[in-house]
């Protein structure tokens, strides 16, 4: 329990040093990871059943050679592809937004530095240090959040593409 309290104190000190923009970075990171975990769950748990149903429906058709049959096949593939790709654009957008949110923290921190310089002058480095910290910590946090998202979202995108290709391969052209 003491460990959790110390961990919370560390997080609170980090946010205090980096400013309120870190809450926005944390919110974007949390949402991004919730969406990525949901997509992994969908790929591993839900989509195999959808794929199985589509393959069974295709195999049970008597007509798999006509132009109409191929349009039905293409429709099923398109619908499955839409389900596979759901929320991927949002995940990629959140990954791209994290560094930009960090840069917002840089701007707000530098504004704090300039305010201190305007009021106190440049003779008090301790007062300026808090603003400089507020300028650098959110940038670092945004970059770390984006890096964690880039790796896993690209792996997730590759899995989505592979699942779609496997579905197409399992519905043969006759």
166 compared with 12, residue with greater pLDDT: 166
Taking Cα atoms as reference points, which of 163, 164, 142 lies closest to residue 32?
142
Q: Is the pLDDT of residue 91 over 80?
A: yes
Q: Is the pLDDT of residue 168 over 90?
A: yes
Range with the poorest average pLDDT among 66-70, 110-114, 135-139, 159-163: 110-114
Q: Is the pLDDT of residue 49 over 80?
A: yes
Digit-coded pLDDT (tens) for 30-42:
999 999 999 999 9
Range with the poorest average pLDDT among 18-22, 36-40, 138-142, 155-159: 18-22
Spatial separation of the C-alpha atoms in residues 157 and 96, rounded to whole Å: 15
38-41: long-range contacts at Cβ-Cβ below 8 A with a sequence spacing of 24 or more?
Answer: 38/87, 39/86, 39/87, 39/88, 39/91, 39/156, 39/160, 40/156, 40/159
Spatial separation of the C-alpha atoms in residues 132 and 129, rounded to whole Å: 5
Q: Taking residues 7-20, what's their average pLDDT? A: 84
Taking Cα atoms as reference points, which of 112, 129, 82, 123 lies closest to residue 20?
112
User: What band does 101 get if pLDDT is binned at 50, 70 and 90?
Assistant: very high
Digit-coded pLDDT (tens) for 103-122:
998 888 888 778 877 887 76
Digit-coded pLDDT (tens) for 50-83:
999 999 999 998 888 899 999 999 999 999 999 9
Give domain limits for the chain: 2-96+145-170
Q: Say which DSSP state 43 is in.
A: I
User: What band does 123 get if pLDDT is binned at 50, 70 and 90?
Assistant: low
* pLDDT confidence of residue 80: 96
User: What band does 85 get if pLDDT is binned at 50, 70 and 90?
Assistant: very high
């Amino acid at each position: 329990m003491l460990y959790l309290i110390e961990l919370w104190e560390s997080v609170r000190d980090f946010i205090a040093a980096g400013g309120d923009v870190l809450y926005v970075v944390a919110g974007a990171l949390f949402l991004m990871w919730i969406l990525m975990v949901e997509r992994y769950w969908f790929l591993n748990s839900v989509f195999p059943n959808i794929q199985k149903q589509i393959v069974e429906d295709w195999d049970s058709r008597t007509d798999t050679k006509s132009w109409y049959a191929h349009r039905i096949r293409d429709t099923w593939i398109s619908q499955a592809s839409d389900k596979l790709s759901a929320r991927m654009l949002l995940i990629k957008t959140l990954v791209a937004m994290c560094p930009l949110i960090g840069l917002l923290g840089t701007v707000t921190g530098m504004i704090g530095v300039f305010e201190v310089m305007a009021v106190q002058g440049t003779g008090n480095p301790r007062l300026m240090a808090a603003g400089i910290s507020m300028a650098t910590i959110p940038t670092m946090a945004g970059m770390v959040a984006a890096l964690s998202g880039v790796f896993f979202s690209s792996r997730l995108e590759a899995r989505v593409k592979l699942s779609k290709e496997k579905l197409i391969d399992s519905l043969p052209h006759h």
